[in-house]
Amino acid sequence: MKTVVVIPTYNEIESLPGALDRVRQAVADAHVLVVDDASPDGTGAFADARAERDDHVHVP
């Protein structure tokens, strides 16, 4: 069974890195979908960069 975790974000640049790490540690094969609502603080750019290097992180 595939596990998908959805993380909605808005201005979460400070907490998103840790949240992604904790999800991946808890469920190593989980896929994480980060849905950002046009955060002006760089959350979306961080999520995009993380998705580029981690096949389990996705940004729609």
Distance, in Å, from the CA atom of 30 to the CA atom of 33, rounded to the nearest integer, reads: 10
Q: Which two tokens stand for residue 1?
A: 């069974």
Strand order of the β-sheet with 31-36 is: 4-9, 31-36, 57-58
- Domain spans in the chain, listed from the N-terminal domain onward: 4-58
Q: What is the mean pLDDT of each run of 10 residues along the chain (60 residues)?
A: 95 98 95 98 98 97
pTM to 2 decimal places: 0.92
Q: Which two tokens stand for residue 50?
A: 């993380």
How far lies 48's CA from each of 6, 8, 13, 36, in Å? 15, 14, 12, 10
The pLDDT, as a whole number, for residue 8 is: 98
